[in-house]
Each structure stands twice: as C-alpha cells, then as structure tokens.
Structure 1
Amino acid sequence: MNPSMPAWRVLIVDDHPIVRTGLAALIDAEADMTVCGQAEDFDGALAAMAELRPDVALVDLSLRGASGLELVKEAGRHGIPTIVVSMHEAPTWAQRSLAAGARGYVQKSEAGRTVVNAIRRVRARRIYLGDAMAQALLERRHGHHHDEAGVHVEALSDREIEVLTRIGNGLTTQQIAAELAISVKTVQTFRERIKRKLDLGSAAELSSMATRWVLERAD
C-alpha cells in the first residue's frame, strides 16, 4: 500500500446483520480500507450510495425489494464499482454479475481474506475472481461444461433464476414472495414464465427440474 493513498471507503450491502458485522471487522482491520456505511436492502443501498459516495460497494445478490444484480447495474450508472459477495457457487451467477458490471465475485464460503484481496484488486482497476470460479467460467466459455439444463436456464432473466433457485431449495410460493419482498401473484407469474421458457408442463416438473439444477451446482 502507498502510504500517501487514502483508505478506500467501502459500503456493505447484505440483508444479514451478522454477515455485515463480519465483513466490517475484516475490512476495518486493514490500513488501506474502511467501512463507510452499511445497508440491508435495495432502497437503503441506493440512499447510502447517494449520501456516502463509497469507493466500492460489496453487494449480496439476495436482497429484499430487488435483485442484487439490479443494484450492481444502478451502482455502475453512478460510477461506483461493485464486488458481489454471494452464497451462490454456480458459474451462472458470477457470469451474470460480471455482465451486470460487477468488478469482482466472491463466494461467501471462501470470504475472509478473499474479500480484502478482491477490494485491493478492484482498487488496482482489475477484476477479481477466485481460482475455482475463474476456471469454471473458462471451461464454460470453451464448451467443456456440457449441461443441457444449464443451457436452457441461460434463457431466464436474473429474477427468474432467483425464483428458480428458491424453488429448487424447496421454498413455497409464499416463502419466495416473502424473501424477495414481492407479491404471491408476481411469484406465480414468474413460475409460469419459467415453465414456458423451459418447456415444462406442470408445477411438479418445474419443482423436479429446479431441485435437480440446484443439486447439480452444489456438487
């Protein structure tokens, strides 16, 4: 670190207080970065970005009110770089995060020092990906990842994939609505769109396919 450079100001956006506290402790222990604020949802994050003007924002994908990917896009419009810190380990999420404008992707399962390294990489105007995720994306790009279901899922929107993931994790329509802060009717609409795009004929087929898709990416 160049001692003449000011500490980078970091905004943490996550709906779990314990996650925010843990990340803040890691960041504030470093001399070249400091936490300037925290937010738990999409609207709070937008307000914090406007008021605090952080140098970088750590963004969870699963936010109440809107997709974390939408926040990544909005932050980019205001010139604020973002690093996605997510529980999702499937390459699909890293790929979509980078496409939305994120400068890095960190899995929560390997956070710790990884977050600190990612922030420094982004400060140096580079993109951060963990070795395993970078390899997975490289294999996908070169066609070494043969996954017919994954190919079809690529046709879904970011929000539809969020709903599909929760269906695969066994959540009910009501639970999905509560987690995403949307109406039950909206979730039902997403379910119908997913069935149509994936050529599934029933709710049972949707549930089976979603469960299989989630389990395959947990291997």
Structure 2
Amino acid sequence: MKSILILDAFPIIRQGIAALFVDRSDWFVFGSAGSLQHAEQLMEEAHPDLILLGLNLPDVSGTHAITHLSMKAPHSRIVASSPRSNDRYSQQCLVAGAHGYVSKTSLPDHFIKTIDEVAKEQVGDFVDQIELPSSNVIGQCIESAPLPHPDRPWEHYQSDQDAPVRPLDALSDRELLVLELIGSGQSTAEISRYIGIKPKTVDSYRERIKKKLSLESTSALTHYAIRWVIGLESI
C-alpha cells in the first residue's frame, strides 16, 4: 500500500482530495498539511511515497516548495496541482523537480490517474492534459464540505513569448490568490492578514485584477471571483 501526503493551504481542498482515496485499497493518506512547515513536521520520522502539492502555500512560493521537498524527501514522488492547465506552467513545475502535474479542473478519474501514473515511477514525467473547467474535482467529491475556501498557485511565466491564452493566465500568482480569497468571501482586512501585506496593497491587487480581467467595478470583481471559486466561471 502506498502513502500520500496532501499538502494544500485550504482545508476543503485537503478534505476533498482525501475523499478520493477512501475506497482505494492501494493508497492511504499519510497526512494532511496546510503549510510547508507543517508538512516537514509530519515527515520528521518517515516520508510518504507521494506528495500531492497544492501550489498555494502561505509560507513558501511554488518552485521553492517543489525544490525543497525534492531535497527533503528525495525518495518521495511529487505531483504539483493547481487550477491552471497551461503547458508552460506545468513545465515550470517539472523543471523545479516535480514528477507530475495535474489540473484541479480535471475530473476525479483523471486526477487519480495522474497520481497513479506518477506513483509507478515511470521514466519521465506525467502531466494530465484532460480538463473540464466547469467540473471542479473538489466539488464532485464533497458537495457539503465546510469552509468555502479554494486553493491556488504561484510561480507564473513572465516572458513575452509565453503570452497567456485566457484572461486568468495573465494574473500573477499573488493576484490569483487574492482573487480566490475574494471569491471565498474574505474581506480586505482578512486577505491582508492571511497574506501578510497591507490593506492598501490588497486594494492595489484588486485594481490590477479588475484591469486584467476587464471588470468595471468592485461588485463585478466579487461576482466573477465567486463564480470562479464555485466552478461556474471558466478558468
């Protein structure tokens, strides 16, 4: 039986992913952590066979988390996970040391397939290319889960040749996190405390997001963010 550590900032995401493994006789949940620091505490005496890493940790950025974990637990396979399905974005994770990448907009079967393939320790890397934006994998696993929080990524490509295809691909990692927190009902003060920035900086992020997504008002931004979090807005 293989072990998996679920590492993600938001409880509802960890709870939803854990539900995918309840009926699996070949997997057991080694642990669940909301930060890299917590994950390291869980791995003090033993390492899991696979680490499912949500790209939204509050205490470390994306590629740094992957690189750190690959050094901390060299025998653990790492699957990075986020809502983005951009090929260049997934490649950034693989270059940093991840063994696979899966979009959280994938159907549960495809989500699990990616994890199974990576766990086989095949030569090379595995990236799940099958997505369904309107079918959030967490929503299909736990319809009544508490805490209406999502989860999100970080390191975003910046070169001119990597032009984004969809509006949300134009957002930086921090902007994407702010958008998600807005959609989960967090106030400016709450977002400020969570991320560790000033309220005025949060307001600046709001304005940048509105501009990049062509949203004319704060209410339009809030409406968009809520629809995105619950899976009604295409990413």
Match of 2:40 among 23, 46, 49: 46
Gaps of 5+ in 1: 1-6, 134-145, 155-159, 193-202
Gaps of 5+ in 2: 132-160, 215-223, 225-233
Structure 1's 165 and 43: CA in aligned 2 closer, same or farther, altered over 3 A?
same
Structure 1's 147 and 106: CA in aligned 2 closer, same or farther, altered over 3 A?
closer
**Partner of 1:211 in structure 2?**
213
**Partner of 1:157 in structure 2?**
none
**Partner of 2:176 in structure 1?**
165
Shift of 1:91: 3.5
**Partner of 1:20 in structure 2?**
14
Q: Which moved more, 1:37-46 or 1:86-95?
A: 86-95
**Partner of 2:128 in structure 1?**
130
**In structure 1, the residue corresponding to 2:105 is in which secondary structure?**
helix
**In structure 1, the residue corresponding to 2:21 is in which secondary structure?**
helix
**In structure 1, the residue corresponding to 2:85 is in which secondary structure?**
coil
**Partner of 1:67 in structure 2?**
61
**In structure 1, the residue corresponding to 2:30 is in which secondary structure?**
strand
| Alpha-carbon distance in 1 for matches of 2:164, 2:104 | 25
| Alpha-carbon distance in 2 for matches of 1:52, 1:11 | 11
Shift of 1:166: 4.2
Shift of 1:27: 1.9
CA offset digits 1:102-133 (Å, max 9, x no partner) = 11111222152223222221122232212347
Equivalent residues, number: 180
Is the radius of gyration larger for structure 1 or structure 2? 1
| Alpha-carbon distance in 2 for matches of 1:90, 1:122 | 19
1:119 and 2:115 correspond: yes
Read off the aligned partner of 1:65 and give its amino acid letter. Answer: D
| Alpha-carbon distance in 2 for matches of 1:20, 1:169 | 16
| Higher RCO (CA < 8 A, seq sep 6+) | 2
**Partner of 2:4 in structure 1?**
10
RMSD: 3.8
Please say if residues 56 and 177 of structure 2, whose CA atoms lie closer than 8 Å, have aligned partners that are also in contact.
no
Shift of 1:179: 4.1
| Alpha-carbon distance in 2 for matches of 1:36, 1:163 | 29
**Partner of 1:4 in structure 2?**
none
- What TM-score does the superposition give when structure 1 sets the normalisation length? 0.64
Please say if residues 4 and 29 of structure 2, whose CA atoms lie closer than 8 Å, have aligned partners that are also in contact.
yes
Q: Which has the higher helix share?
A: 1
Please say if residues 57 and 82 of structure 1, whose CA atoms lie closer than 8 Å, have aligned partners that are also in contact.
yes
